[in-house]
Amino acid sequence: MKKYIYTYTLCLAVLFSSLSFAQQTPADKQSQAISIVGVTAHIGNGSTIENATVVFENGKITRIGTSANTATAGKVIDAKGKHVYPGFIAPNSTLGLVEVDAVRATRDQQETGSFNPHIRSLIAYNTESKVVESCRPNGILTAQITPRGGAVSGTSSIVQLDAWNWEDAAIKVDDGIHMNWPNNYSRGRWWLGEPRGLRPNKNYAKQLTQIQDVFNETASYLKGSRSPKNLPYEAMEGLLDGSQKLYVHVNTEKGILDAIEFGKKNKLKIVIVGGYHAHKVATTLRQNKIPVLLHRTHSVPNMDDEDYDLSYKKAKILTDAGVLVGLENSGQMERMNTRNLPFLAGTVAAHGLDKEKALQLITSNTAKILGIDDRLGTLEVGKDATLFISEGDALDMRGNILTHAFIEGRELSLETHQTKLWKRYTKKYDGK
């Protein structure tokens, strides 16, 4: 009996502690025009406007230009000496799908099975996630919620990060399907007596044939009677008619080239995700107009003979070659590390890429890759008023101090559990 009482009490404690730290109530719909004046506007397309005025109403930007030539309206925010940016976009993210890595009940980023194009990450997205909340004070206001695992992981969707539920959050539903490309190398399983280290994957050709067979079967099914109903094949219809993109997670040089050829053969719109060796095939990527969501900038080299700063300068190499590049931050502790996305771009800028071009890697470029550039990614008339004001350079952690943030014109709370702790311990060590 004592065991059951203890378990019941523990469950109640966990429940009430989680309720006591619930996310803030989503912001109300914009009710009046807002003008930001005297600010340095980073447009997101490579240009800036000094001493700018940005006006937005009903969730849309209505005017932007120099303060001398742009009339204000409604509530005026004096942002002299500050900076305004389009909201940062985090692609290939599992935000809202996992809350605590060590607690299995909070992990919902992967389904069983290998072939799951019909799995939709959107309906598993948790708008109450405290991890999601922690991204907003760093300027990340939009994310592509992406499933993991298997050969075909499922379908991603794009959400804004201040919502009551997944329906409210959705910006673009089921934007694409994610495939994990077979690796043309395998690592020796020493526990089975295999030699350590990398060696050619003897099953690589067979695995490619299996992928092509699936697409052939899907095409035949969709052209036929569609009976009996096959949900995975139905889910892939958007890939074959061009309304969805295929996000191919692949890193090796040969794998990227094979994925490009596969996309051409099947007339697919593909995006390379990860692309560790993408710089080696930059010309081919440019010629075929294949964009890249590049792996985490803050990574060490994989190979002994690679430059120590390869990950830092790879985005510049690809950009200079004419490839459309965005930054993604998957990997260890990826959900908690999502809030560091602006500093990935800052590192790229520190290693040679122009600062405003580096900004594009997490704004306009990513918006183009995800197909949401008609609404997001730049500060332009007619686009969503999803933007923020920073005291300094938002790509530098010393300057990334937000004073205001808006999603579709709705002013957000920037308070989180972390900001409360920061303020608490700032007072402690200030001697207050």
pLDDT for 119-140, tens place per residue? 999 999 999 999 999 999 999 9
What type of residue sits at position 323? V
Residue 188's pLDDT band, with cuts at 50, 70 and 90, is confident
**Does 15 or 106 have the greater pLDDT score?**
106
How much is the pTM? 0.92
pLDDT of the residue at 14? 44
pLDDT of the residue at 423? 85
Alpha helices in 163-287 (DSSP H): 166-169, 204-223, 231-235, 237-241, 253-265, 282-287
Residue 115's pLDDT band, with cuts at 50, 70 and 90, is very high
pLDDT of the residue at 424? 87
Residue 186's pLDDT band, with cuts at 50, 70 and 90, is confident
pLDDT digits (tens, 9 = 90+) for 378-427: 999 999 999 999 999 999 999 999 999 999 999 999 988 888 888 888 88
pLDDT digits (tens, 9 = 90+) for 339-375: 999 999 999 999 999 999 999 999 999 999 999 999 9
Q: Look at residues 361, 346, 353, 347 and name the one whose alpha carbon lies nearest to residue 395.
A: 346
Per-residue pLDDT for 183 more than 80? Answer: yes
β-bridge pairing 83-86 and 387-390: antiparallel
pLDDT of the residue at 12? 44
* Domain extents in the chain: 88-376
What are residue 115's DSSP bridge partners?
152
Residue the block writes with tokens 């940016």: 85
pLDDT of the residue at 421? 86
Least confident of 17-31, 198-212, 218-232, 238-252: 17-31
Cα angle 196, 198, 201 (rounded to 5 degrees) comes to 120
Q: Are 137 and 174 in contact (CB under 8 A)?
A: no
Q: Read off the tokens for 326.
A: 């965005």
How many residues in the chain? 432
pLDDT of the residue at 23? 62
H helices, E strands: number in the chain: 14, 18
Question: Which positions ≥6 away from 67 have C-beta within 8 Å?
Answer: 37, 38, 51, 52, 53
Per-residue pLDDT for 432 more than 80? Answer: no
Percent of all residues in the chain with a pLDDT value above 70, rounded to a whole number: 94
Residue the block writes with tokens 């300057």: 399
Residue the block writes with tokens 């593909």: 270
Average pLDDT over residues 38-66: 98
Q: Are 393 and 343 in contact (CB under 8 A)?
A: no
Q: How far are the Cα atoms of 256, 262, 291, 319 from residue 270, in angstroms, in the given order?
A: 11, 9, 8, 18
Tell me what the pLDDT averaged over the chain comes to.
92
pLDDT of the residue at 15? 42
CATH topology of domain 88-376: TIM Barrel (3.20.20)
Average pLDDT over residues 172-176: 97
Helix (H) or strand (E) holding 250: strand 245-250
pLDDT of the residue at 22? 55
**SS3 state at 15:** helix
DSSP for residue 154: E
**Does 423 or 7 have the greater pLDDT score?**
423
Q: Look at residues 223, 141, 210, 146 and name the one whose alpha carbon lies nearest to residue 181.
A: 210
β-bridge pairing 140-145 and 152-160: antiparallel
Question: Which positions ≥6 away from 77 have C-beta within 8 Å?
Answer: 34, 35, 36, 37, 389, 404
pLDDT digits (tens, 9 = 90+) for 279-320: 999 999 999 999 999 999 999 998 888 999 999 999 999 999
Residue 10's pLDDT band, with cuts at 50, 70 and 90, is very low
